[in-house]
């Protein structure tokens, strides 16, 4: 087997002597097809798509050109990606601080993040209260230590100090 890890084939399923594998990975049409496969499953940001294509083995320039063509054709949109991503994170009970950090990590620019968060029309204070209620139930925390623990939980979910305060102070009403 020559030390190959899986049944005589290198990891990834391509043979070293397979001349078509190299041709395929430098072909912009193949890069476009692979990008469309990814986009068929869910929206992807430009940077995320570029990373996936290059990890798959496509040349960065070929992958970038394929993505640029998809953008021109309206098949890839960072704005659509941001909208879908924000809605997904809201459904998971994540706050705007975490959503912003996750989008930055995925290469999305601040202006697009800001407009996406604004367009979401989410009442973040209400979401913080809802997340708190699901985790801790209707009873008020007993003591400072317990209240601090619950506030740290909301902070870890990505809510800012004002939203956390609004959620916790709603208990006093």
3-state SS assignment for residue 9: strand
The pLDDT score that the predictor gives to residue 10 is 43
Q: 113 vs 140, which has greater pLDDT?
A: 113
In a domain, 13, yes or no: no
Residues 6 or more apart in contact with residue 68 via CB below 8 angstroms = none
User: How much is the pTM?
Assistant: 0.80
Structurally, how many domains does the chain consist of? 3
User: Is 47 within 8 Å of 107 (Cβ atoms)?
Assistant: yes
Task: Tell me the CATH number at 161.
Answer: 1.10.10.10
Contact 66, 87 (CB under 8 A): no
pLDDT in tens, 58-70: 999 999 999 999 9
Kindly state whether residues 25 and 67 are assigned to the same domain: yes
Is position 116 within any domain? yes
Q: How many CA atoms lie within 13 A of 33 on its CB side?
A: 7
Domain that holds residue 92: 79-120
Please write the tens of the pLDDT for every residue from 84-130: 999 999 999 999 999 999 999 999 999 999 999 999 999 999 999 99
Same domain, residue pair 43 and 28: yes
pLDDT, tens digit (0-9, with 9 covering 90-100), for 15-68: 444 445 567 788 889 999 999 999 999 999 999 999 999 999 999 999 999 999
């Amino acid at each position: 087997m020559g030390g190959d890890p899986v049944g005589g084939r290198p990891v990834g399923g391509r043979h070293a002597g397979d001349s078509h594998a190299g041709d395929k990975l430098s072909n912009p049409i193949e890069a476009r097809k692979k990008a469309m496969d990814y986009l068929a499953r869910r929206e992807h940001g430009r940077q995320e798509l570029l990373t996936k294509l290059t990890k798959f083995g496509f040349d960065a320039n070929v992958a970038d050109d394929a993505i640029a063509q998809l953008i021109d054709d309206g098949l890839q949109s960072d704005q659509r990606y941001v909208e879908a991503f924000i809605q997904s994170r809201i459904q998971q009970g994540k706050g705007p601080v975490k959503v912003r950090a996750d989008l930055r990590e995925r290469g999305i620019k601040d202006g697009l993040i800001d407009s996406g968060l604004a367009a979401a029309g989410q009442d973040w204070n209400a979401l913080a209260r809802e997340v708190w209620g699901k985790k801790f139930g209707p009873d008020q925390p007993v003591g400072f230590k317990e209240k601090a623990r619950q506030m740290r939980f909301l902070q870890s979910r990505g809510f800012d100090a004002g939203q956390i305060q609004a959620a916790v102070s709603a208990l006093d009403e």
